[in-house]
Amino acid sequence: MRTILRTMLQGFGARKIVEAEDGASGLEAMDRANPDILILDWVMPILDGADMVRMIRTQNNPYAYIPIIMVTAHTERSRIIEARKLGIHELLCKPISAKALYQRIASIILQPRDFVKTAGYFGPAPREIRGHKKNWDGNKVLTDANSAMV
């Protein structure tokens, strides 16, 4: 998967790409590389993607505000909701395509989101669902007509 992602990123013109074999090595690599965007897999040895995001999304972490794209083959609704609660910016489902990866990166760059901190969440503000009014009440996102935010 790392080879596929690297090839796609190089095709987009990325010049500095740093890889890590697992989540623990990924945290160490972040300190050395000072990345602009983090792309990580949900399933990794030693420290999985969810645990890595939990460690990053703490206010004392110098990378707390880094945009995160999570790659996963697990696309069940509960996993998608968990990913949002973790504070990732984008979820990319396997098998991935160059177009899907490019769209996620473009979204992060062209449509930046403010960060929100509440008692139970720290991460990017949820996006508005097309056609639904969104209000942030400090604890959850409220939408019209029982719409689900994912």
Question: pLDDT tens across 57-74, in order?
Answer: 998 899 999 999 999 999
CA 137 to mean position of chain CA atoms: 23
CA 62 to mean position of chain CA atoms: 16
CA 6 to mean position of chain CA atoms: 17
Banded pLDDT at 133 (limits 50, 70, 90): low
Backbone φ and ψ for 26, nearest 5 degrees, come out as -65, -40
Please tell me whether the overall predicted TM-score, pTM, comes out greater than 0.85 for this model: no
One-letter amino acid of 112: P
Q: In this structure, what is the dihedral angle of CA atoms 117, 134, 66, 92, given to the nearest 10 degrees?
A: 130
pLDDT 10s digits, 73-103 = 998 999 889 998 999 999 999 999 999 999 9
Contacts of 82 (CB under 8 A, 6+ apart): 50
Per-residue tokens: 129: 């669902």
Identify the CATH homologous superfamily for domain 1-112.
Answer: Response regulator (3.40.50.2300)
The pairing of beta strand 122-124 with beta strand 115-117: antiparallel
